[in-house]
Structure 1
Amino acid sequence: MLADKRILLIIGGGIAAYKALELIRLLRGAGAAVSPVLTRAGAQFVTPLSVAALAGSPLHQDLFDLTAEAEMGHIQLSRAADLVVVTPCTADLMAKMAGGHADDLATTLLMATDKRVLIAPAMNVRMWEHPATQRNLARLRADGVLVTGPTHGDMACGEHGPGRMAEPADIFAAIGAALHDGPLKGRRILVTSGPTHEPIDPVRYIANRSSGAQGTALAAALRDLGAKVTFVTGPATVPPPPGVQVLHVETARQMLEAVEGALPADAAVFAAAVADWRVAQEATQKMKKDASGLPVLAFAENPDILATVSRHRLRPGLVVGFAAETENVIAHAQAKRLRKGCDWMVANDVSPATGIMGGTENAVHLITETGTENWPRLPKTEVAARLAARIAAHLTGQPE
């Protein structure tokens, strides 16, 4: 799978560093060459001997190795790889990467490389949720850094929550996807995201509370599995992920036009919160308050994008809809799946008390013709990873 690929593996300081040893084994078993870099903190958790023995290549630790640096060894090392992987990527390493620091071998390599970088964050739940870490994460994503994990789980510190490093097999899959050898390699997938804005006049519009976070996370997860993703997004507050084709739209009619223009595709996932109605006659000038009283707005129905694509002559092999409900969630979503003609429906409760619409977590029900699966409340990134894995399994004929 990874024959002749060269991985520069940076092992950070954290209890999860022991998982890097299993990752090295997986990479070498797939035919990849691994050049390991062990940080000073990482050496507190795994030994240089064990890393070098498993990698089967020299271990690098010191920036000021005079023999290597006489030939600018850190430049050569950073450029010779096909992919740079940081695992575990601690809060400290993330901060240094986001700030452009280069005060040791690992950070200097990360600054000097011209290759893609994949990080697997691992830290205490409070450190992960800290605003500084989230700012750094957003900065790294914006810079094009790939991210896998973290997941929810028990931690060595005794706490439970997000911050647990992804398992070696999951990191291995993300590496394959980053090198375009993931299970969705060669597949074209369409994803819609965000709200639509339906204008009332030049300064006012009808919209909803969607941030676009779930659709963005899903596009990134599908990209990381090797898919060529076309991302059609309304005016979301969450920026689109790097590495996908982005089509910006404002209204439902514009979204439908962009979606039809992106066909054919192997699968289409409609995560956008499209407005059901628009103002029938948009005012060309700003509407004013005056003595005539309140304005009367006449509405027209927007095109049904999900139903249109489900019955399209270029219908994708898998069509997935989203149902945002506030009551009778599963019953309404089951009926919607049949009414729209899609294959799967992802339903969630967006009542204000749930904090899901516009929030960072989601609790969904996956509805197919065979039944309903109830998923626990998870970060939207983890919901996206699960759904992307199910889509990959379906398209490749693997057990779901």
Structure 2
Amino acid sequence: MLAGKRILLIIGGGIAAYKSLELIRLLRGAGASVAPVLTRAGSEFVTPLSVAALAGEPLHQDLFDLTTEAEMGHIQLSRAADLVVVAPCTADLMARMAGGHADDLASTLLMATDKRVLIAPAMNVRMWQHPATQRNLALLARDGILVTGPEVGDMACGETGPGRMAEPRTILAAIEVALGAGPLAGKHVLVTSGPTHEPIDPVRYIANRSSGQQGTAVASALRDLGARVTFVTGPASTPPPQGVTVVAIESAREMLAAVEAALPADAAVFAAAVADWRVKNAAGQKLKKQAGAPLPTLEFAENPDILATISRHAQRPSLVVGFAAETETVVAHAQAKRLRKGCDWIVANDVSPTTGIMGGGENVVHLITDAGVEDWPRLPKPEVARRLAARIAEALTATDPKDTA
């Protein structure tokens, strides 16, 4: 799988750097060559000699190496590889990548490369859960950066939780996917995201608090597995991901039209928070407040049910996944919704104000299928998306996607 491939491996500063030595061994055993880059902080955890010896190549550490920089060595190094891997990728490295810094060899290579980049985050659990780290993670995902891990477990600092770097064999598998076609290659997946805006008049509308974070993360994760993604999005505060076909809409009726125009698809994920109703008597001009005049009366009409429509469509995707945002009796309501709408899976979550999920960076979901209910722990939304994308990939390669959960 990796025979003849060249990996530019950037080793960041963290105790997990020792795992990078095993990763080098695995990569070379799989037939790849490794160009190693060790950050200054990384050299506090593993020695330059051990890295160079295992890689069988000279180690790169300094940006201003006069021997190589005479030929713009950092540019050559960044583009000669088939894939750039950062393992471990510390919170600091993630922040510098997100901010576009280029003040040392590692960050300069990451800015100069024209190849895909895979990071394996590793840090203390509190650092991983910090809002700044999660913002940077979301930004990197939108930029097309691939992510594997982190895993949950005991850490060197004595704390337990998400933050452990993925094991070398897990990173190797992610590298193989990144360099291969990916399990969803040749598949078309439709994703809806964000809120819809239903006009009251030309300047006012009815909407909800959906940020579009989860739908954007799902589209990114499916893209990273090789799918061709059509991303139909309402006016969300989260920018759409790169590397997908973006169709921007405003209202529920526009979203349904865009979804039908995107068919056929192998799978569809309806993560958008679509308004149930629209204003039937929307004004053509801005409504004015006038002293003594009666208050305007809004008449409502039911919006089209996009999930139910596509679940019974003549061009129905083989796998239809809906989302259920609930504030009470979450699982029971979602189970009933799956049967009522006719979709295959429902991803249910509690969006009560106290959860911080609507518009927040984390989610707690229940995956509901014919097989039952699977409860997932509270996770960052990109990790929820990666898990869901992996399940979709598994389902689409099975004989009957509806039976795989």
TM-score by length of structure 2 reads 0.91
**Residues 72-81 or 312-321, more deviating:** 72-81
Q: Distance in 1 between matches of 2:134 and 2:347?
A: 27
Q: Distance in 1 between matches of 2:224 and 2:64?
A: 35
Offset of residue 139 of structure 1: 5.0
1:266 corresponds in structure 2 to 266
CA contact (8 A) 2:193 2:215 kept: yes
Q: Distance in 2 between matches of 1:229 and 1:3?
A: 29
- Letter in structure 2 aligned against 1:344: W
2:34 corresponds in structure 1 to 34
2:276 corresponds in structure 1 to 276
1:219 corresponds in structure 2 to 219
CA contact (8 A) 1:279 1:299 kept: yes
CA contact (8 A) 1:174 1:225 kept: no
CA contact (8 A) 1:84 1:115 kept: yes
1:74 corresponds in structure 2 to 74
CA contact (8 A) 1:362 1:378 kept: yes
- After superposition, the Cα gap between the structure-2 partners of 1:96 and 1:177, relative to the gap in structure 1 and judged at 3 Å, is same
Instruction: Find the residue that maps to 1:300 and give its secondary structure.
Output: strand
2:192 corresponds in structure 1 to 192
CA contact (8 A) 2:357 2:363 kept: yes
Alignment of 1:174-189 (within 5 A): 174-189=174-189
Quick check: 1:249 aligned with 2:249? yes
Offset of residue 132 of structure 1: 4.7
Instruction: Find the residue that maps to 1:15 and give its secondary structure.
Output: coil
CA contact (8 A) 1:177 1:223 kept: no
- After superposition, the Cα gap between the structure-2 partners of 1:303 and 1:9, relative to the gap in structure 1 and judged at 3 Å, is same
2:320 corresponds in structure 1 to 319
Q: Which runs of 5+ in 2 are unaligned?
A: none
2:337 corresponds in structure 1 to 336
1:2 corresponds in structure 2 to 2
Instruction: Find the residue that maps to 2:275 and give its secondary structure.
Output: coil
- After superposition, the Cα gap between the structure-2 partners of 1:136 and 1:385, relative to the gap in structure 1 and judged at 3 Å, is closer
**Which portions of structure 1, spanning 4 or more consecutive aligned residues, are displaced by more than 6 angstroms?**
none
- After superposition, the Cα gap between the structure-2 partners of 1:275 and 1:103, relative to the gap in structure 1 and judged at 3 Å, is closer
Instruction: Find the residue that maps to 2:16 and give its secondary structure.
Output: helix
2:298 corresponds in structure 1 to 297
CA contact (8 A) 1:365 1:373 kept: yes
- After superposition, the Cα gap between the structure-2 partners of 1:131 and 1:357, relative to the gap in structure 1 and judged at 3 Å, is closer
- After superposition, the Cα gap between the structure-2 partners of 1:143 and 1:214, relative to the gap in structure 1 and judged at 3 Å, is closer
- After superposition, the Cα gap between the structure-2 partners of 1:176 and 1:284, relative to the gap in structure 1 and judged at 3 Å, is farther
Offset of residue 129 of structure 1: 4.2
1:389 corresponds in structure 2 to 390
**How many corresponding residue pairs?**
400
CA contact (8 A) 1:173 1:225 kept: no
Give CA-to-partner distance per residue, 1:322-378, whole Å, 9 cap, x none: 111122221211111111111111111222222221111211111111111111222
Q: Distance in 1 between matches of 2:272 and 2:106?
A: 40
Alignment of 1:75-224 (within 5 A): 75-130=75-130, 132-134=132-134, 136-137=136-137, 140-141=140-141, 143-224=143-224
- After superposition, the Cα gap between the structure-2 partners of 1:94 and 1:329, relative to the gap in structure 1 and judged at 3 Å, is closer
1:17 corresponds in structure 2 to 17
- Letter in structure 2 aligned against 1:361: E
TM-score by length of structure 1 reads 0.92
**Residues 233-242 or 268-277, more deviating:** 233-242
**Residues 114-123 or 336-345, more deviating:** 114-123
2:370 corresponds in structure 1 to 369
- After superposition, the Cα gap between the structure-2 partners of 1:30 and 1:223, relative to the gap in structure 1 and judged at 3 Å, is farther
Alignment of 1:54-65 (within 5 A): 54-65=54-65
- RMSD of aligned alpha carbons: 2.3
Give CA-to-partner distance per residue, 1:166-195, whole Å, 9 cap, x none: 333443344344435322122111111111
- Letter in structure 2 aligned against 1:104: D
Offset of residue 318 of structure 1: 0.7
CA contact (8 A) 2:326 2:333 kept: yes
- After superposition, the Cα gap between the structure-2 partners of 1:248 and 1:26, relative to the gap in structure 1 and judged at 3 Å, is farther
Offset of residue 282 of structure 1: 1.5
- After superposition, the Cα gap between the structure-2 partners of 1:126 and 1:329, relative to the gap in structure 1 and judged at 3 Å, is closer
Q: Which runs of 5+ in 1 are unaligned?
A: none
- Letter in structure 2 aligned against 1:212: G
CA contact (8 A) 1:174 1:224 kept: no
Give CA-to-partner distance per residue, 1:52-72, whole Å, 9 cap, x none: 343343322233444333333
CA contact (8 A) 1:173 1:182 kept: no
Alignment of 1:222-241 (within 5 A): 222-241=222-241
